[in-house]
Structure 1
Amino acid sequence: MEIAIILISALICMSVVAIKLSDTKLSFPFAMKKQLFTAAERQFLMLIERAVGNEFRVLCRVRLIDLLSLKTDTNKKLANSALLKAGNKHIDFVLCDKNDLTPVMAIDLVYGAGKDGHNVQRDFFVNGALDTASIPHVRIKAKNGYTLAEIRECIETKLIPLRRRQGKIPFVAANDRPEVIKRSTKPTRPLSTSRKAVA
């Protein structure tokens, strides 16, 4: 009987220790951030939203891995390497089709001083991955005083292929191109001679 009491008390002690240990593992040392975006990011987000109007939805801080998928015939080693590289990269703003949320364009804000998370130098992996997936990528230097027209022009310049597919920008037809006057390759004679005829 004494052995049973000792075993039960030992079991109770072990349970109390396990609960204490699990409490320390499950504690959450977090507090809410006062601001989700910096002042420059907030201002830029508002400009983008006004520039695109109701045509697109603007998503913020999208992971590159959420924008792209691997091609089915990619070998395993290359796939793992690409996923590892893409896993820690993100895009500041992504324009998506309003109806089905298909990604249309990636926009990155670039700080001249090299703020954390915003590389001054172009990231060739991000550019190459987005180019391969046919997602236009715009890098805009963060500065005060951008006008709505400047942001709209920057976005529309990258959207020209999409606009052509939508039929909003016509292709130049061959017969609409200005005619090029070709010169003859044969030498020509002057109509009148500049020398006086000798008698």
Structure 2
Amino acid sequence: MELAIILMMILIVVAIGAVKLNEPSLTFPFKKKQNLFTPVERSFLALIDEAVGNQFRVMCRVKLSDVVATRDSLNKKAAKSALSRTSGRHLDFVLCAKGDMSPVIAIDLVHATQNGKDGYKRQRDWFVSGALDAARIPHVRIKVRSGYTANDIRQCIDAKLASVRIASANTPLVAGTAGQVKDPNIATRPTKPLGQDPMAA
């Protein structure tokens, strides 16, 4: 009888010890990822950094909700609904001004394949484009292919920023004053034809 009690106590102690040993792995079942970015993302990050690293800070995988906010005039219900639509949406890269880290331009990579993980941004997300447009943040979609140089990336970004400046210059500061108010700090024409950029999607 005493032997059975002793064996039972030993089994209980062993069971408790096993649970304690396995508890961390059950509570935190994680391991380190080998790479933070995919090979394509790493390649483009290096190109973007080389192209504009001295001018902007390059942020990666930025949530859409981190770069846009609802207007103050919006009621709480509408604001909550709008913000909920930004959930789960992110931008591959955002270039920020070095001084105040304000977003300057958003960049998304566009994969050619339709299926699987690599094709998730092949189709334009019109909500993302519309939200960025409303917030006046230029949005560039660059097709993924080999052979790009840092200069190619810079030209694509410069062309997009130039086209936004031109559009802003053509927008009257006061309704009905188009052609009367000029801002000398805004370019009024591109330095080269802007055409359809073969990189953009």
User: Closer, same or farther in 2 for the Cα pair 1:58/1:153, shift >3 Å?
Assistant: same
What is the CA–CA distance in structure 1 between the aligned matches of 2:73 and 2:101, rounded to whole Å?
26
User: Closer, same or farther in 2 for the Cα pair 1:74/1:116, shift >3 Å?
Assistant: farther
- Unmatched runs of 5 consecutive residues or more in structure 2: 1-15, 170-182, 190-201
Q: Deviations over 1:136-162 (max 9, x none)?
A: 000001111112221111000111145
User: Closer, same or farther in 2 for the Cα pair 1:37/1:24, shift >3 Å?
Assistant: closer
What is the CA–CA distance in structure 2 between the aligned matches of 1:25 and 1:71, rounded to whole Å?
44
Residue 125 of structure 1 aligns with which residue? 127
**Is 1:82–2:82 an aligned residue pair?**
yes
What is the CA–CA distance in structure 2 between the aligned matches of 1:128 and 1:109, rounded to whole Å?
17
Instruction: Report the count of equivalent residues.
Output: 152
What is the CA–CA distance in structure 2 between the aligned matches of 1:122 and 1:166, rounded to whole Å?
35
CA contact (8 A) 2:109 2:121 kept: no
- Unmatched runs of 5 consecutive residues or more in structure 1: 1-15, 173-199
Offset at 1:79? Answer: 1.8
Offset at 1:24? Answer: 7.6
Q: SS of the residue aligned with 2:142?
A: strand
**Is 1:171–2:194 an aligned residue pair?**
no
Residue 45 of structure 1 aligns with which residue? 45
TM-score normalised per structure 2: 0.68
Residue 70 of structure 2 aligns with which residue? 70
Residue 181 of structure 1 aligns with which residue? none
What is the CA–CA distance in structure 1 between the aligned matches of 2:95 and 2:131, rounded to whole Å?
17
Offset at 1:166? Answer: 8.9
What is the CA–CA distance in structure 2 between the aligned matches of 1:132 and 1:94, rounded to whole Å?
16
What is the CA–CA distance in structure 1 between the aligned matches of 2:32 and 2:145, rounded to whole Å?
28
**2:30 partner letter:** F
Residue 112 of structure 1 aligns with which residue? 112
Q: SS of the residue aligned with 2:27?
A: coil
What is the CA–CA distance in structure 2 between the aligned matches of 1:76 and 1:170, rounded to whole Å?
38
Please give the residue correspondences for 1:138-177 in structure 2 after superposition, counting only pairs within 5 Å. 138-160=140-162, 161=164, 167=185, 170-171=187-188
Offset at 1:77? Answer: 3.2
Q: SS of the residue aligned with 2:153?
A: helix
What is the CA–CA distance in structure 2 between the aligned matches of 1:96 and 1:136, rounded to whole Å?
12
**1:69 partner letter:** A
Q: SS of the residue aligned with 1:135?
A: coil
TM-score normalised per structure 1: 0.68
Offset at 1:56? Answer: 0.2
CA contact (8 A) 2:165 2:187 kept: no
What is the CA–CA distance in structure 1 between the aligned matches of 2:121 and 2:165, rounded to whole Å?
28
Percent identity over the alignment is 50
What is the CA–CA distance in structure 1 between the aligned matches of 2:112 and 2:104, rounded to whole Å?
26
**Larger of the two Rg values belongs to structure:** 1
The two structures, once aligned, show a CA RMSD in angstroms of 2.6
Residue 137 of structure 1 aligns with which residue? 139
Offset at 1:52? Answer: 0.7
User: Closer, same or farther in 2 for the Cα pair 1:60/1:52, shift >3 Å?
Assistant: same
User: Closer, same or farther in 2 for the Cα pair 1:104/1:59, shift >3 Å?
Assistant: same
CA contact (8 A) 2:112 2:143 kept: yes
